[in-house]
Amino acid sequence: MRVLFVCLGNICRSPTAEGVMRKLVGEAGLADRIELDSAGTGAWHVGAKPDPRATAAALKGGFELSGRARQVTGADFDDFDMILAMDRFNASELLGMAPGGAAAEKVRLLREFDPASSAEWNLDVPDPYEGGPRGFSHALELIEAACRGLIDELRRREPVA
């Protein structure tokens, strides 16, 4: 199972989701069965490390961020089983890039996996880039809750022997 997390520039929300999931996948004993990556729909930050504010919030929460920003490519629709957008804007961008119906079916919002958010109309993880530290902490909280729900879904799909 291969999962791609996507936000706008791939320096805040999507690397946070990748870092949170990397830890949760390891704790669940699924590291040999689930591959993770992140990307952005935009190219502004290609090659950049995760935003220091996102990194600080993640470390405070017990998670590590790594990697360098990259932009989503058409090949990602072939290479990944799930493509999880951080918000409706990026989901729309991804659906516009999808080469067909089967590829488009891979695109979902990350917060769809948070059982506590199922009654909410807005499943976006707000972009903290223009804000202060609280925005990064809030994004981490939303992402962690959704990733915990995603782990439950992946356990159902990839049972541990």
**Cβ 129 vs Cβ 51: under 8 Å:** yes
Please, which residues bridge with residue 82 across strands?
A: 3
- Of 51, 76, 114, 127, the active-site residue reads 127
Cβ-in-10-Å burial (0-12, 13-18, 19+) of 8 comes to buried
- Of 7, 22, 53, 124, the active-site residue reads 7
Q: Can you tell me the distance from the alpha carbon of 30 to that of 102, in angstroms, rounded to the nearest whole number?
A: 25
Locus of tokens 């939303």: 142
Is 147 labeled as catalytic in the residue annotation? no
- Of 12, 13, 37, 124, the active-site residue reads 13
Enzyme catalytic residues:
7, 13, 127
